Amino acid sequence: MRRVVKRLMLIVIAAAIVKLAVSARGAELLGSAVIALAENEQLTGFVLRSELGLLRAEAAEPTSAAEASGESAESSARPALAANPIGGGFPKLTEEEAAPETPAASAAPNTNTAAEDAKLPAPNSEADAPGAVRPKTVVIDNGSSYNIDVPAMLEEDIGITLPANDAPQILIIHTHTSEAYSQTEGFRTLDKTMSVVRVGDALTRELTEKGYNVIHDREVYDYPSYNGSYNRTAESVKTRLAEFPTIQIVFDLHRDALEQADGSQYRSTYRNGDTEAAQLMLIAATGSAGLSHPNWKTNLRFALNLQANMDAKYPGLTRPLLVSAQRYNEQLAPGYLLLEVGSTGNTIDEAVTAIRLFAECFSADS
């Protein structure tokens, strides 16, 4: 009885701590402590979700056959789409294997906006100075079961070699294609000029101008069914890689969902002079939760180097790099990463500005 009471008290304490996490940074700092508390006390009837900056204690659901095999199913079927919005910011979980559905045809990109044409702020002058040295380490939020020696990994060769740019090198895709920003009711839409697809358009343009050969997949993978999104994305990526084996880098570009204790949306912002941009977050998956991902260190080295580049050139542009225990399809390519651009509290123009700054820091080999 005493042990049961102790567990109940720990649950109440964990819930109270969660409610105090009123900012993205607060969530990052508190997440590990609360999760460790739950694991040490073996609170098997509780699941604490903190993977994307949201801390929520929720009752654990019965284990399904898919979960028993190591691949978690997404939460539940999402609401039908109205004329424009799709409701809610949903946690991203890996899924059971399923046959892909045929996505809808995409519309032509719209890049004629002020954010795309605005002048970027000056980078950190020290970072661009001759002989400048990048930081020897970067801040990570390690949600995996592995010990990560960040300085050592930054010294290692990334292990990715891009072929000549006469063939596709980089693929940009959106597992949750309908994710949108603060101007959109419900934060989801099929209007690609207001969703993460437009942010992907901007990244495609910026990287192409830098000389990279880029494919932007603008298909919809999370509607009409949200469940199975990652499976459909995986099938599409496999098809692209079979057609273009030269692709070494895949960015699965998302919008994060950060909600404060009072229900308001957190606006993760980077400021540089008169420029305001959304903050970015890279997610490097390891599969340590039980899914096969033997080459996760290559993906992580790539992410660490990108993070170091951004920390050097635009300090504060990124949140800590999330090292995830999940897999998120990242086993499919050595340079496969999830890229969260802004959150539900940001405008789409702030997201576009952020991705332009990201492109300024992008390098496949450093």
- For the chain, the domains span 2-60, 114-361
**pLDDT tens sequence across 65-75:** 333 323 333 33
**Summary mean pLDDT of the chain:** 75
Crossing angle of helices 2-20 and 24-40, rounded to 10° = 170
Superfamily of domain 114-361: Zn-dependent exopeptidases (3.40.630.40)
Which one has a higher pLDDT value, 354 or 119?
A: 354
In terms of average pLDDT, the best of 30-44, 105-119, 275-289, 351-365 is: 275-289
Of the candidates 352, 364, 323, 345, the residue with the CA atom closest to the CA atom of residue 146:
323
Structure tokens at 79: 């609401």
Which pLDDT score is estimated for 100? 32
Q: Give the confidence band of 260 by pLDDT, cuts at 50, 70, 90.
A: confident
For residue 27, is pLDDT > 70? Answer: no
Percentage of the chain lying above the pLDDT 70 cut: 63
**pLDDT tens sequence across 132-155:** 456 778 999 999 999 999 999 999
Range 49-67 average pLDDT: 32
For residue 312, is pLDDT > 80? Answer: yes
Which one has a higher pLDDT value, 40 or 159?
A: 159
Which pLDDT score is estimated for 1? 55
Crossing angle of helices 196-209 and 348-361, rounded to 10° = 30
Range 271-295 average pLDDT: 96
Which pLDDT score is estimated for 121? 66
Q: Give the confidence band of 119 by pLDDT, cuts at 50, 70, 90.
A: low
Per DSSP, 258 falls in state -
Range 238-257 average pLDDT: 97
Which pLDDT score is estimated for 138? 95
Q: How many residues does the chain have?
A: 366
Beta strands 249-254 and 335-341, pairing class: parallel
